[in-house]
Chain A
Amino acid sequence: MRKTTKLLASLFTLSTACLCVQAETFDTQILRATLPAYVDIKAETDVQTKTIDPATGALDSGFSSVFTIQANDKVDLYLTAKADTQNGFDKAFFKKNGIVYVILTNTGKKPAASAIADIRTGTAIPSNNANAIAYPVTGVNISGATSVEPQYNDGKDQYEFSVNPGVTMATTTVSPAVDSTTYSFDDNAGTYEAHITLTDTTT
Chain B
Amino acid sequence: MKYCFTISLSILLIAPVCYGAAVMDSTLTTIIPSAAIVQAVSNSKNNCVINPENGSHTGLEAAFNVKTNGDDNTYDFIISSSIDTLAGTKNAYVMNNNKLYLMLANKDRLPDGDAVSDILSGSLVKNPNIIAYPVINNSVYDIKPVEYNGNLSCKILSGGQQDLNISQFVSNNPLANTYSISEDTAGVYESVIMLNVYRKP
Q: Give the B-binding residues of A (Cβ under 8 A).
A: 1, 5-6, 8-13, 16-17, 19-38, 40, 70-73, 145, 165-167
The docked-state distance in angstroms from the alpha carbon of A36 to that of B50 is 7
The docked-state distance in angstroms from the alpha carbon of A184 to that of B188 is 58
**Contact in complex: A31, B193 (CB < 8 Å):** yes
20 sample A-B contacts, Cβ–Cβ < 8 Å, listed by A number = A5-B190, A8-B89, A9-B194, A17-B149, A20-B201, A21-B76, A24-B198, A25-B38, A27-B40, A31-B190, A31-B193, A32-B48, A33-B104, A34-B188, A35-B184, A36-B49, A71-B181, A72-B184, A73-B185, A166-B182
The docked-state distance in angstroms from the alpha carbon of A12 to that of B151 is 11
For residue A167, which residue of chain B has the nearest CB? B182
Interface residues of B in 35-79 (CB under 8 A from A): 36-42, 46-50, 52-53, 57, 60-64, 75-76, 78
**Contact in complex: B181, A72 (CB < 8 Å):** yes
Option from B40, B189, B192, B193 in Cβ contact (under 8 Å) with A33: B189
The docked-state distance in angstroms from the alpha carbon of A23 to that of B75 is 9
Name B's interface SS. Answer: strand
Judged by a CB distance under 8 angstroms, whether B127 is at the interface is no
Taking the closest CB of chain A, its distance from the CB of B85, in whole angstroms, is 11
**Contact in complex: A21, B201 (CB < 8 Å):** yes
Query: Apart from A29-B192, A35-B187, A166-B183, what are 15 other A-B pairs with CB-CB below 8 Å?
Result: A1-B107, A5-B190, A16-B150, A21-B198, A23-B196, A24-B36, A29-B193, A30-B192, A30-B193, A31-B46, A32-B48, A32-B188, A32-B190, A35-B186, A165-B186
Interface residues of B in 88-132 (CB under 8 A from A): 89, 102, 104, 106-107, 131
Q: Provide the B163-189 mask, 1 if CB < 8 A to any CB of A, else 0.
A: 000000010000000000111111111
**Contact in complex: B82, A12 (CB < 8 Å):** yes
**Contact in complex: A33, B198 (CB < 8 Å):** no
**Contact in complex: B151, A16 (CB < 8 Å):** yes
- A31-B46, A32-B47, A38-B186 given; A9·B52 CB < 8 A: no
Taking the closest CB of chain B, its distance from the CB of A123, in whole angstroms, is 45
Judged by a CB distance under 8 angstroms, whether B195 is at the interface is yes
**Contact in complex: B150, A72 (CB < 8 Å):** no
**Contact in complex: B49, A28 (CB < 8 Å):** no
**Contact in complex: B186, A37 (CB < 8 Å):** yes
**Contact in complex: A28, B192 (CB < 8 Å):** yes
Judged by a CB distance under 8 angstroms, whether B80 is at the interface is yes
